Amino acid sequence: MHDDVPVLIVGGSLVGLSTSLFLASHGVRSLTVERHPGTAIHPRAAMFNQRTIEVYRNVGLEAEILEASRLEFEQDGAIVSVESLGGRELEYYFRNVNEGYEPLSPSPRLFITQIGLEPILRRHADELGARLEYSTELMSLDQDADGVTALVRNRDSGAERTVRASYVVAADGTRSPVRERLGIPLLGHPSFSNSITIYFRANVKPLVGDRNLSVVYVFGPTLQGFFRFSLAGDAGFLVVNTTTNADGERNRDLWADMGEGRCVEYVREALGAPDLAVEIENVQQWNACAQWAERFQDGRIFLAGDAAHTMPPTGGFGGNTGVADAHNLAWKLACVLDGRAGAGLLDTYDPERRPVGELTVEQAYTRYVLRLDPELGKEDIQPFVPDPPIELGHRYRSSAVIAEGDDDGSICENPHEPTGRPGTRAAHVAVDGRSTLDLFGRGFVVLSAAEPWCAAARGAGIDAHRIEAPGFAEAYGTGTEGAVLVRPDGFIAWRAREARPDRERELSSALARVLSR
């Protein structure tokens, strides 16, 4: 049997599902193959940043995700470091993860597990016509000048078939068989801990008390890792990254003893409750490393999510970065597949996403060293960058951005002080009870306070919105006479800071350049 599809997605977890959802929202057919029989069975990612919720908002899912998140967590909690849950508090990284973040976005940072989120993504992708095949494994793939031929196998029946796709997105996780097959090396910090995650049941309510704790780092004298707890306070997981013996020596290999008795000891120790009844439900082993792929693209094949960058959970960046990859790639694939753009547009994925991936991996590593394992060496880490620039302040440079002259080379900027520079995320400004962000998502959009720019945009076949709301001209750097051209992913492609003589021609030519036409 032979199957033709514009885009084949390998891996149907968080990033594969997001890719299929975003492609479907642009009207692109895709087939996702996932070797597991269904969506996530382990919670893993839970902290989703404003950018991630914004892009799900863009495809109409925010309300449903917010509702589902409340079933799992009390929102707006703290991220704290303790010696043990019942013991001394060391440092609050956040008292409330949303405090001070409200002006940045109409969407909150929120906690929902992959178990809660993935079925929502799957259902909506499915409703929009995306094909998702579980218990189906990619066996091999080969690309030629016109497409990619993949061999896939149903793991239940053993039946094999070939799939012919114009493009492949490899969202096949940290060990990415596709990346390996392409021979793309990893850069960064290889394995620094054979970590474990212990899923347990125990009554932690008396130890939590009246605190609203989203993430609890444990930096005890003998154990280093972190907790998350269930809403009811009757279960949770403990990640153990390292232990320290009486001589102060670090043990970074927790795989050597994952027996149930040992795991009960770990949980009791980290809770600071030596006699508490603890039932171990499951123990997972995983490797902490902080690495990114040397290339995110090989011809018609793109790496996204953990396949492109793997980082420790410190900071809660891994899944979010993968969702941003998917969002960056989806509109580009859509434009190329329907002929609006030249194939060169796809070559902007790597230069836009790889520097962001590298920055984010390094920042997750910096947080890991500072919060959990300083002995890895503070001299080997990048200076700490606060969360907002990492989550919302990306600055892209590629042929899909028409840069201005004043480039200081920074990979991110502070979203509390938006500049409107081409290559940055178009800022949230409240407009008639909505957000400027609600104007983005499908095609290109021109925003301007000046009607002549809007008229010129419409003449050039581009949607336009005249924005007279307070704060717009400052946040976008357009003044009252300029305009911005915003890409379907909500990033600014081009800007004029003043009135120009031939606006329609200027906009048409900017769009053609950005689309590699």
Ligand X SMILES: Cc1cc2nc3c(=O)[nH]c(=O)nc-3n(C[C@H](O)[C@H](O)[C@H](O)COP(=O)(O)OP(=O)(O)OC[C@H]3O[C@@H](n4cnc5c(N)ncnc54)[C@H](O)[C@@H]3O)c2cc1C
CB of 11 to ligand X, least distance (A): 3
Angle at 227 between CA 221 and CA 230, to 5 degrees: 150
| Interface with ligand X, residue 388, by CB under 6 A | no
Contacts of 192 (CB under 8 A, 6+ apart): 252, 288, 289, 290, 368, 373, 376
* CB closer to ligand X, 14 vs 485: 14
How far apart CA 394 and CA 414 sit, in angstroms, is 9
CB of 272 to ligand X, least distance (A): 21
Binder among 10, 148, 381, 511 for ligand X (CB under 6 A): 10
For residue 102, give Cα distances in angstroms to 96, 109, 239, 490: 11, 9, 30, 19
* Residues in region 273-302 near ligand X by CB under 6 A: 286
Residue (of 88, 65, 69, 68) closest to 77 by Cα position: 69
3-state class (DSSP) for residue 78: strand
| Interface with ligand X, residue 225, by CB under 6 A | no
Q: Which stretch binds ligand X (CB under 6 A): 32-40, 257-265, 340-348, 362-370?
A: 32-40
Element (H, E) at 354: helix 349-371
* CB closer to ligand X, 365 vs 472: 365
Binder among 116, 322, 357, 393 for ligand X (CB under 6 A): 322
How far apart CA 288 and CA 252 sit, in angstroms, is 10
| Interface with ligand X, residue 179, by CB under 6 A | no
| Interface with ligand X, residue 372, by CB under 6 A | no
Binder among 6, 77, 116, 177 for ligand X (CB under 6 A): 177
Contacts of 382 (CB under 8 A, 6+ apart): 359, 362, 363, 365, 366
3-state class (DSSP) for residue 391: helix
CB of 133 to ligand X, least distance (A): 9
* Residues in region 190-219 near ligand X by CB under 6 A: 197
With contact defined as beta carbons under 8 Å apart, do 111 and 46 qualify?
yes
Q: Are strands 89-94 and 136-143 parallel, antiparallel or unpaired?
A: unpaired
Contacts of 270 (CB under 8 A, 6+ apart): 84, 85, 218, 220, 223, 225, 227, 238, 240
Residue of minimal CB distance from ligand X? 305
CB of 320 to ligand X, least distance (A): 4
Q: Which stretch binds ligand X (CB under 6 A): 173-181, 268-276, 327-335, 373-381?
A: 173-181
* CB closer to ligand X, 58 vs 314: 314
Binder among 173, 225, 423, 441 for ligand X (CB under 6 A): 173
* CB closer to ligand X, 169 vs 457: 169
CB of 287 to ligand X, least distance (A): 10
Binding residues for ligand X, rule: CB under 6 A, are 10-11, 13-16, 33-36, 44-47, 137-138, 171-174, 177, 197, 239, 286, 305-306, 313, 316-320, 322
